Amino acid sequence: MKITASILCLFVSITANCQVPNSDFENWNIVDGIEEPVNWRTNNEINSISVSKTADSYAGNFAMQIINNGPSFEGPLPGYTTVIYASNTVPAEISAYVKCDSISGTGKAIINIVGYLAGKDNEIGKWETIVEIPHYTLIKIPLSPARHYDSIAIRLEAYAGMDALGWPTGHASIKADRLSDGSGTETNEIEYYPSLLVFPNPCHEEVNIGSAEGTISECLVFDVFGRDLFRKSFCVSDIRLDFGHYPQGLYFIRTIDNKGIMTNITIIKR
């Protein structure tokens, strides 16, 4: 249900489980006429649903989808959902399979992690993107400092700014599945792009991209914060991109071919 206080003031049931509760989003209940993910709190209302169940999942039957809200008498509100759970381990990271198939304007997708220790709270991890991630992609959010916290809060948010009349100036949609605090086993997966040959992925020094159906007219590279790292126009069928000077992490490549077809590629740099 709608909660106007900040994440630090949310009241959420804390479970005695070191794993993220309902991390695969298979379990949903009807609360006050609204379908809600078990163990998670949302800002859903009957006439304003921002958090919902989707069959477009990475694994299993369902994932969770968050979209930004429309205008509200309470001011500009994102769509968000939060869980707080007791931790009896020292997790070094939070990982999730994420898909952002619609981001425009001022829209962005955000994952924020807060650690509670001895009555105090600190932001210990954050991830956000302002570019689309068209396929489920494994992201890993390092937690710093890595400690044995009394509890950990994870908040997923779809945000967009508002204009002077209170209307959103963008759109964001984030789908999440298989959240983990390191208790489970996750593996990096190489994606397949039917119209492009992309290798190696993961990469160390360079990434090769070859078009199987035409020529590449434009190529862009973004980091996970949406920063534009590389942008160049071409008229070639093969591109070699230098990743040697980039730090380890997740990157996104967007190509546009001579027919105007856009392809988004996820690259892991090691």
Asked if residue 188 belongs to a domain, the reply is no
Is 64 in contact with 51 (CB distance < 8 Å)?
Answer: yes
User: Which pLDDT value is given to residue 6?
Assistant: 32
Same domain? For 130 and 172 the reply is: yes
Confidence of residue 159 (pLDDT cuts 50, 70, 90): very high
Same domain? For 202 and 103 the reply is: no
Same domain? For 58 and 173 the reply is: yes
Confidence of residue 3 (pLDDT cuts 50, 70, 90): very low
Same domain? For 175 and 241 the reply is: no
Task: Among 180, 211, 232, give the residue marking a domain's end.
Answer: 180
Of all residues in the chain, the percent with pLDDT exceeding 90 is: 36
User: Which pLDDT value is given to residue 70?
Assistant: 56
Task: Among 126, 152, 180, give the residue marking a domain's end.
Answer: 180
Same domain? For 127 and 14 the reply is: yes
Same domain? For 102 and 58 the reply is: yes
Same domain? For 152 and 207 the reply is: no
User: Which pLDDT value is given to residue 150?
Assistant: 85
* pLDDT greater than 80 at residue 90: no
Give the total number of structural domains in the chain. 2
Of the candidates 266, 2, 233, 1, the one whose C-alpha atom is nearest the C-alpha of residue 136 is 266
Task: Among 130, 147, 180, give the residue marking a domain's end.
Answer: 180
Structure tokens at 151: 């509890």
User: Which pLDDT value is given to residue 110?
Assistant: 94
User: Which pLDDT value is given to residue 184?
Assistant: 39
Kindly state the greatest CA–CA separation across the chain.
Answer: 60
Same domain? For 35 and 78 the reply is: yes
Confidence of residue 42 (pLDDT cuts 50, 70, 90): very high
Same domain? For 175 and 207 the reply is: no
Element (H, E) at 99: strand 93-105
Let me know if 258 is exposed, middle or buried by CB neighbors in 10 A (0-12, 13-18, 19+): middle
Q: What is the CATH number of the domain that holds 132?
A: 2.60.120.260
User: Which pLDDT value is given to residue 76?
Assistant: 52
Give the separation between CA 120 and CA 69, rounded to whole angstroms.
Answer: 30
* pLDDT greater than 90 at residue 109: yes
39, 45, 64, 185, 205 from 31: Cα distances, Å: 12, 10, 16, 32, 51
Higher per-residue confidence, 162 vs 81 = 81
Is 128 in contact with 109 (CB distance < 8 Å)?
Answer: yes
Is 116 in contact with 195 (CB distance < 8 Å)?
Answer: no
Q: What is the CATH number of the domain that holds 247?
A: 2.60.40.3080
* pLDDT greater than 50 at residue 260: yes
Same domain? For 111 and 242 the reply is: no
Asked if residue 187 belongs to a domain, the reply is no
Give the separation between CA 104 and CA 171, rounded to whole angstroms.
Answer: 5
Asked if residue 140 belongs to a domain, the reply is yes
Of all residues in the chain, the percent with pLDDT exceeding 70 is: 84
Average pLDDT, integer, range 25-36? 93
Each residue's pLDDT tens digit, 174-190 = 999 999 886 433 334 44
Give the separation between CA 40 and CA 7, rounded to whole angstroms.
Answer: 12
Asked if residue 189 belongs to a domain, the reply is no
Asked if residue 185 belongs to a domain, the reply is no
Per the structure, the complete domain to which residue 200 belongs is given by 196-269
